[in-house]
Chains A and B, each alone.
Chain A
């Protein structure tokens, strides 16, 4: 039932379509920028959906707001800052890499390095467990092998 909660969120939202024809900006370059920005902004009343995907009225308002800022001449960064100022960092689908959030960003690389380190030590240990079979052949074994191969 992994989708159940998306579903429940959708029940609350009247079913318009995401990105209505009337919202689209005449300039394709600006519209492309709006889409790009929208993909990173969360529809606040939905469940983990971007405003680009969401059908909710609030998402529609935000989409229109983003397009207004773009036509007013804001850069992508300024548009996002404008929205974050109004709605808080909750609106960002990719959280700011600052303060405590750094943990979120470095956990992957750090865990990977740690795992690689442990894996390396383990593998080195498996190469020759103490007092067991040495690498390669001893001189006597090599001689014996040579003899066998001759036959």
Chain B
């Protein structure tokens, strides 16, 4: 009885939150327009209230999952009593309805954070930011309540559920959506700031300073979210691919690219009061692409136009949200953009131009990904051609942008503001260049094939990592090596964050190139007791056993890895079968190493009695995700710089903050 009450209360608080959100959208906007302080003051308590109400609603749904309340159709479809607790909880967002409730929860969380940490904003700007943020929340709450209600009941509850899709019962995927959503939705704050600034008709250095932490935070979460998803694909899908250029992946990658661009252009607004209208446009587009991503994933339109046409209610609703917010903001932009005057003056070669170049490369590469993603749809609807755009196209069309980006990054990072000389920057970077060339040559000499991919990756990666180190070193002023080295550790955290993130990109690039270029693969039938050579390792199939998990049964291969006559370690890949969901999964067993992963998969028993065994040696695989973690770490460092800390400005007036630069 209590249990039923909690779920009903959760449904009720969600409806209540919608009403609060409508109030928060309307009242502060009018207040800001008329200059009524008490109307503007409604925004903050309303933002906190929304978060608490939706928080309760989400907790109620989680409670229903944890207690396996099978009167909710969502719980029946996605849970089972025998499922481990972690996946009962992650099952809350492992489905459409619950994930949209999570999206709304995060929207209100960011709205509340903007209210809590926005004490330093001018009161009209704060009221407008919170009102715009709330209008986005209204749209998504209405979407959840009217098209995707997670609290829908069943008249006759069954005894047990249908279980969560086994592929989703995995720690990597349990936490992948929340991080991705934190990133997507974090960009809504940048959007709200952009729209509020357009309404105010004012963008200055202080605005750039306020937007940057939110962008950093979103980009940090997007980086982690994408890395988790890619890591999951690597170990779960059974052949060690990590990126497929799938529309759903691209949906998260485009906001990441645009957030990275926004991150850099906001610096120019903050330090040099230039690129203002472009930055506003980027802030709108970054969130616009988050919405496009949601639309692509939630409507399934790219997979099948027909599936979309047969049940268009959800897709059309999100398309409406997308059109209203992006279209409305762009219209406002067209009306107001010319009121923003750039102030900074700078030469053709300068930090400013380098950042413009960064923005060009990131924005155009995002466009290429976007066009590639929707091209099958356009081709089918306008030219009647049914075609696919997959990994080979994106590899060809996207990679050059990243190569150029990596080439110019270390130089651009050390160019001074206003006026610079390329020659001087190249000279400063000469040791990084020498090291990169040396390591690339070494890689070229050591590899067996003639592929340029590996050496190029090593060159770019070393160039980025060493370049980041040189950048830090150059910032530590004059004097001898020891004093510079000591001073390096007292540099602002934002400087460290920049170098760490740039080095992280280098690490990821080395990883991707190394893994793609130097992978070894072996597919064969092995009898029990067989030992075979793969690369420099011996692989021995010691046995195959049946094992039983909490909600699955599995065939487990028992293999050992040898070098010469010394046994190194055992690996236990499994083929699992989840009887409730009636679905098999492959659980590869991976030995992670600094320089290589050994990746083993057990297949079916063959007719002759042996077992299919697939062995991969994947060089530098971990570098891909290590680099992502390092990039996120860099963003975290920047975020913790006291100049940028989300709440920092509270103690400083905006005018001072600008003068201090």
Contacts and interface: CB of A to CB of B under 8 A. Distances in A.
Interface in A48-85: 48-50, 53, 55
A139 interface: no
B603 interface: yes
Interface in A89-131: 89-96, 99-101, 104-105, 107-108, 111-112, 115-116, 119, 122-124, 126-129
B85 interface: no
B430 to A, nearest CB: 26
A137 interface: no
Given A4-B248, A127-B346, A91 B388 contact: yes
A107 B367 contact: yes
B77 interface: no
Q: How large is the interface on B (under 10, 10 to 19, 20 to 34, 35 or more residues)?
A: 35 or more
A48 B390 contact: yes
Contact of A123 (B356, B524, B575, B612): B356
A128 B345 contact: yes
Contacts of A47: 246, 303
A133 interface: yes
Contacts of B392: 39-40, 93-94
Contact of A3 (B232, B352, B368, B604): B232
Interface string B247-266: 11101100000000000000
Contacts of A108: 364-365, 367-368, 371, 397, 401
A104 B374 CA distance: 10
Interface string B570-596: 000001000000011110000000000
Interface string A1-42: 111111100110011111111101000000000000001101
Contacts of B248: 1-6
B154 interface: no
B535 to A, nearest CB: 15
Interface string B351-384: 0110011001001110110011001000100110
Nearest to B607: A22
Interface string B167-191: 1100001001100100000000000
A132 interface: yes
Interface string B77-113: 0000000000000000010000100000000000000
Contacts of A123: 346, 348, 352-353, 356
B585 A111 contact: no
Contact of A7 (B168, B241, B344, B393): B168
Q: How large is the interface on A (under 10, 10 to 19, 20 to 34, 35 or more residues)?
A: 35 or more
Contacts of B601: 17
A18 B356 contact: no
B239 A53 contact: yes
A11 B164 CA distance: 12
B310 to A, nearest CB: 15
Contact of B251 (A2, A16, A92, A112): A2
A57 B585 CA distance: 16
Contacts of A50: 390-391
A49 B241 CA distance: 11
Contacts of A115: 360, 363-364
B354 to A, nearest CB: 11
B297 A19 contact: no
A112 to B, nearest CB: 5
A25 B172 CA distance: 36
Contacts of A126: 274, 342, 344-346, 352
A90 B375 CA distance: 12
Contact of B360 (A96, A101, A112): A112
Nearest to B246: A48
A100 B385 contact: yes
B388 to A, nearest CB: 5
Interface of B: 94, 99, 165, 167-168, 173, 176-177, 180, 229, 232-233, 237-239, 241, 244-249, 251-252, 274, 297, 300, 303, 342, 344-348, 352-353, 356-357, 360, 363-365, 367-368, 371-372, 375, 379, 382-383, 385-393, 396-397, 401, 523-525, 575, 583-586, 601, 603-604, 606, 612, 614
Given A53-B241, A88-B386, A126-B345, 18 more contacts: A2-B246, A5-B297, A5-B300, A6-B246, A7-B167, A15-B583, A17-B614, A21-B606, A48-B245, A53-B244, A90-B387, A94-B389, A95-B379, A95-B389, A104-B389, A105-B397, A115-B364, A133-B345
26 contacts: A1-B297, A2-B249, A3-B229, A3-B249, A5-B248, A7-B165, A14-B584, A15-B584, A17-B238, A39-B392, A48-B391, A49-B244, A90-B386, A92-B387, A93-B390, A95-B379, A100-B379, A100-B383, A101-B387, A111-B364, A115-B363, A116-B360, A123-B356, A124-B348, A126-B344, A127-B345
4 tightest Cβ-Cβ pairs between the two chains A and B: A93-B390, A2-B248, A94-B392, A15-B584
